[in-house]
Structure 1
Amino acid sequence: MPSPADRTDSTLVIGLGRFGSAVAATLDRLGREVLAVESNPSLVRQWTGRIPLVEADATDPEALEQLGATEFGTAVVGVATSLEASVLITGNLVDLETPQIWAKAVSRAHGRILQRIGAHHVVYPEFDAGQRAAHLVSGRMLDYIEMEKGGFTIVKMRSPAELHGFTIGESKVRSRYGVTIFGLMSPGEPFEYATSETLVSASDVLVVGGDASLLERFALRS
């Protein structure tokens, strides 16, 4: 078995549900070396010819070894609806000493199990999408990306009226609200990185970063 340092930078994606197929198709489109593994014949037929794909049962460690799983530096476990299959596949990858294992979880309890058996990264697509939607439904934010749980966040939002006609330096956003304007987008213009001399208008969309709670309060002013 190759040592972790000898693995390639290719990615093995196991499970072609909505999450797994999006990961595999995006990596393939970006020109990254990727191989998808799916045991459901109907999904195999759906994706054959569109992405590199093999039909195999990844809960079987021998099947993983036969398809060359030991050569991959990263594996993504997109199987989550079956807790048993998710745990077995993740455990198999841990046994194969896969350097980076990303696993999808459907609950916090599921995620804790995956972490305990050795998954390096656990993602919660449904939870994250729901949380993001909750921040957007008010209409004050146009996009929301939480970089760290309960910590640094980046949002895209309409410019508050009190900033219109003032430069970022004049509005003292950082000292008054505790957030940082990284850039802005004006209609028909390319993205502009913000400086203290950047003038904000009513039609501008701002890209702002900071603590999530401070960003919420700042967005309420728009």
Structure 2
Amino acid sequence: MPNRNDKKERERNDGVLVVGLGRFGSSLAGTLTRLGQDVLAVERDPDLVAQYSGQFPLVEADATNPTALEQLGAKDFPVAVVGVGTSLEASVLVTGNLVDLETPQIWAKAVSVEHGRILTRIGAHHVTFPEADAGNRVAHLVSGKLLDYIEVEDGFTIVKMRPPKELQGFTLAQTKIRERYGVTVMGVKPPGEDFVYAVPDTRIMANDLLVVSGHAELLERFAARP
């Protein structure tokens, strides 16, 4: 059982409260723990509590009950993540309780645009759509042109890809990629070597990997070139 009185330690480590141990919440809590973050997970399903016991600090409680959250010391956490997605009512209640506790940062999982809109209106600071984001990413990878795809915000995206043939053997200055395609090569990885920051004199070869940033539509057009 985690120490509920260790408020100062949580604040120093930027503790994170994770509510809901579905696939999203459990993955998040596990990753944060490996990164050295102080985590407390809250789950009302005893089977899930038993499943993840010992992997990270967790308690069995109903976070839709504001009294339960207060007793857990939820107000001491600067960041809370609501991973409840299967029940719209539970998601809204938990988020509303955290808003009432004046949690500085509330991240909430949404399963639809309407769900996300409600969470935003009641006070969630960040709304994430993990299923939609994953589907979007996989769709780009399945196309075969991209090796990795991360949409940051408002269409700005970073991808990992092989260079189109027309760029191979030329330096970035010679290719004028930004001028011609509206995207920026941030890094280049030759075979067997580490990624290096791209500069105008960086020469692009056929087997290189490129890290390229820009608007999603421009990157898609750029990656579609033979």
- Give the TM-score normalised by structure 2: 0.93
| Candidates 147, 150, 170, aligned match of 1:166 | 170
Are 1:57 and 2:62 an aligned pair? yes
Q: Which residue of 1 aligns with 2:41?
A: 36
| Candidates 95, 99, 112, aligned match of 2:100 | 95
Alpha-carbon distance in 2 for matches of 1:104, 1:211: 24
| Candidates 135, 150, 155, aligned match of 1:145 | 150
Alpha-carbon distance in 1 for matches of 2:137, 2:83: 21
Alpha-carbon distance in 2 for matches of 1:146, 1:198: 25
Q: Is the partner of 1:9 in helix, strand or coil?
A: coil
Tell me the C-alpha RMSD between the 2 structures.
1.4
> Which amino acid is the alignment partner of residue 100 of structure 1?
Q
Cα shift at 1:133 = 1.4
Alpha-carbon distance in 1 for matches of 2:50, 2:14: 27
Cα shift at 1:76 = 0.3
> Which amino acid is the alignment partner of residue 109 of structure 2?
K
Q: Which residue of 1 aligns with 2:32?
A: 27
Alpha-carbon distance in 2 for matches of 1:7, 1:154: 32
Structure 1 contact 102–123 (Cα < 8 Å) conserved: yes
Q: Is the partner of 2:21 in helix, strand or coil?
A: coil
Alpha-carbon distance in 2 for matches of 1:36, 1:72: 12
> Which amino acid is the alignment partner of residue 221 of structure 2?
R
Q: Is the partner of 1:213 in helix, strand or coil?
A: helix
Structure 2 matches for 1:52-91, cutoff 5 A?
52-91=57-96
Are 1:193 and 2:208 an aligned pair? no
Cα shift at 1:7 = 9.3
- Cα deviations by residue, 1:44-70 (Å, 9 ceiling, x for unpaired): 001111100111010111100111111
Alpha-carbon distance in 2 for matches of 1:174, 1:92: 47
- Cα deviations by residue, 1:65-123 (Å, 9 ceiling, x for unpaired): 11111111010000110011101100100111111000001000000011111111000
- Show structure 1 runs of 4+ deviating over 4 A: none
Q: Which residue of 1 aligns with 2:120?
A: 115
Which sections of structure 2, spanning at least 5 residues, go unmatched?
1-6
- Cα deviations by residue, 1:185-212 (Å, 9 ceiling, x for unpaired): 1111001111111111110111111111
Alpha-carbon distance in 1 for matches of 2:125, 2:25: 17
Alpha-carbon distance in 2 for matches of 1:95, 1:177: 47
Are 1:133 and 2:138 an aligned pair? yes
Structure 2 matches for 1:176-187, cutoff 5 A?
176-187=180-191
Q: Is the partner of 1:147 in helix, strand or coil?
A: strand
Structure 1 contact 8–72 (Cα < 8 Å) conserved: no
> Which amino acid is the alignment partner of residue 33 of structure 2?
D
Cα shift at 1:9 = 2.1
Alpha-carbon distance in 2 for matches of 1:48, 1:148: 35
Q: Percent identity?
A: 68
